[in-house]
Structure 1
Amino acid sequence: MRVVFAGTPDVALPSLRAVAESSHELVGVVTRPDARTGRGRRLAASPVAEAAAMLGIPVLKPEHPRDPEFQEALRELAPDVCPVVAYGALLPQSALDIPVHGWVNLHFSLLPAWRGAAPVQRSIWAGDDVTGATTFRIVKDLDAGPVFGVMTETIRPTDTAGDLLARLAEGGAGLLVATLDGIADGSLESQPQPADGVSLAPKITVDDARVDWAQPAAAIDRQVRACTPAPGAWTTYDGERLKLGPLSPVDGQLPAGELVAGKNAVVVGTGTAAMRLGDVQPVGKRPMPAADWARGAHLSGGEVLG
């Protein structure tokens, strides 16, 4: 089949490479426009745009996929199907209607669970044991289209959102190509999603990522891992924000938020058991082990986070 791939961030790269190496003809790539990035705020192409350029594939960067110029360019490419991984813009019906077999999305959850922008983060935060990836045909309603295929992945006790997403991106690339193969040879038909089991996964905001130390240790652990690497869980110390890496359990209890600093470890109280801080990042500084931060902050005992 003639394929136009749509995606933007690093997580889409395994699928882009898999499609490029498949038996299908990759004739174009759609991605978000160049954006300002870094401290210098320089204009930079998306990871998918850079990878497509290295592959010698034509790249379309519409401000919005409803733009008539973009839709005309897409028609000229004459795609049979448009696979999508984390493109980042809503597709109007006029764009959805262009490829013969529609737009096929790789979504990182077991639909209908966790429809939305942050399925991996929400799955970890909720304490799910298993998640996965789903390929489905995009329709107007959010992540509600008929399903082609699924893969499952166990959520490990120490997984961050970044860890889990990396595994799903690699495994999902194979699922996406297998889905395209099945569409091409007519062996695969999409099936409606069940009406039961729908849950939503809205984007996690910076405010959502603030830790409440009165919560149980297990809930804080899931929150911090779900928010790593982005947007980053955080708390405050001495009136300033302190970004938090994953924590680990320890024996004993402390009042919620209270710190005890030793030579090689810093322990904080929660609503249940105490926890050991991992890396922390004060404002304007690089991430560092909590014990190094504690020495620089001259903790003397009894200090409180949050």
Structure 2
Amino acid sequence: MKDPRVIFAGTPEFARASLSALVDAGVVPVAVLTQPDRPAGRGKRVTPSPVKRYAEEHDIPVMQPPTLRDDDVVAQLLALEPDIMVVAAYGLILPQTVLDIPARGCLNVHASVLPRWRGAAPIQAAILAGDKTTGVSLMSMTAGLDCGPVYVAAPLAIAPGETAGALHDRLATLGGDTLAQYLDDILEQRITPVPQDESATTYAGKINKSDAQLDWSQSAVDLERRVRAYDPVPGAFFFASLRGGSDIAEPLRIKCWRAASVADIDATPGTVVSSGADGIDVACASGALRLLELQLPGKRRVKAREFAHQIDLTDRILS
């Protein structure tokens, strides 16, 4: 389709990659929807989203409604006469009145191969589950949660030891490339979307900070995945109660940024059984988790050897 009228809706860096791919392909949206500016960072300064920053740099009109369930917003979108709306990690629900506006409907760039990992955190869910592959899907949006028919699914292997942050970046690039490659085919209806297999559906719910706490009653394999799944946000953590004259308040919340699963150790789960140059070994329900990179509150990340010089966790029970 020559000069399609596209509305783009997205907010974080994952979405910016798709917007950038469209612009690089010569498809400049008639408008961009993104969430309102919010406080971010240590100083909690009000900050525009990555999508807004990119749109403004390229002179694309930006809309930031707090909700799409507003008659004035719907009227503004109708006036744009879009052929399609591309949605990537927007963060607001699209009501049916909005879904019905574009002539070719709304197209979602989702960070999994649907129907596996519908929902808000598919990247983290794939790592937690030990999936070997994931990918992106271009899905025709319906009123349900990520349940519309799929135009294209592009698989991607998850590298051994890959963190959510690294996987996010590769999926963001893949999503943008796939969108740019297939958008015209979708607009020209050369591709028929395929209904999802409801029997194969899995869900990836929103992440709470408490989800990142390491539970030593789980296996070391599961905990190593947890460390990777929550890097960089919110960061896996555990608590250590320090005694013996330490001036550090207890219990101490310690973040773990890198770990490895090692052989079984006969000890109560949560017990620090050794601390040396190779790392700090903690007994789990099965196997042991070797802590390799740690961070004290307000401090920088350090390797386990340096951490052990600061605080000796040997024989302590972690929670």
TM-score by length of 1: 0.94
Please name the residue that 2:287 is paired with.
273
Q: Distance in 2 between matches of 1:279 and 1:6?
A: 37
- Does residue 157 of the first structure (1) align with residue 157 of the second (2)? no
Structure 2 SS opposite 1:40: coil
- Does residue 138 of the first structure (1) align with residue 150 of the second (2)? no
Structure 2 SS opposite 1:245: strand
Please name the residue that 2:246 is paired with.
none
CA separation of 1:286 and 1:300: change in aligned 2, threshold 3 A:
closer
Please name the residue that 1:292 is paired with.
306
Structure 1 SS opposite 2:69: coil
Structure 2 SS opposite 1:84: strand
Q: Distance in 2 between matches of 1:92 and 1:186?
A: 24
- Unmatched tracts of structure 2, length 5 or more: 242-250
Give 1:264 deviation, angstroms.
5.7
- Does residue 241 of the first structure (1) align with residue 253 of the second (2)? yes
Give 1:68 deviation, angstroms.
2.2
Number of residue pairs matched?
A: 305
Q: Distance in 2 between matches of 1:291 and 1:51?
A: 42
- The root-mean-square deviation of aligned C-alpha atoms, in Å, is 1.6
Contact preservation (8 Å) 1:254, 1:268? no
CA separation of 1:162 and 1:141: change in aligned 2, threshold 3 A:
same
Moved more, 269-278 or 26-35: 269-278
Instruction: Find 1:189's aligned residue among 188, 192, 198.
Output: 192
Give 1:214 deviation, angstroms.
2.5
Instruction: Find 1:117's aligned residue among 120, 126, 145.
Output: 120
Percent of aligned positions that are identical: 39
Where does structure 1 differ by over 4 angstroms across 4 or more consecutive aligned residues?
none
Instruction: Find 1:283's aligned residue among 297, 314, 317.
Output: 297
Residue type of the alignment partner of 2:280: V
- Does residue 253 of the first structure (1) align with residue 265 of the second (2)? yes
Q: Distance in 2 between matches of 1:284 and 1:38?
A: 14
Q: Distance in 2 between matches of 1:117 and 1:286?
A: 29
Contact preservation (8 Å) 1:254, 1:274? no
Q: Distance in 2 between matches of 1:221 and 1:73?
A: 48
Contact preservation (8 Å) 1:60, 1:70? no
Give 1:77 deviation, angstroms.
2.1
Q: Distance in 2 between matches of 1:192 and 1:98?
A: 22
Give 1:252 deviation, angstroms.
5.7
Contact preservation (8 Å) 2:104, 2:187? no
Deviations 1:31-90 (A, max 9, x none): 000001122221111111001100110000001112222222222222111111100011
Please name the residue that 2:171 is paired with.
168
- Unmatched tracts of structure 1, length 5 or more: none
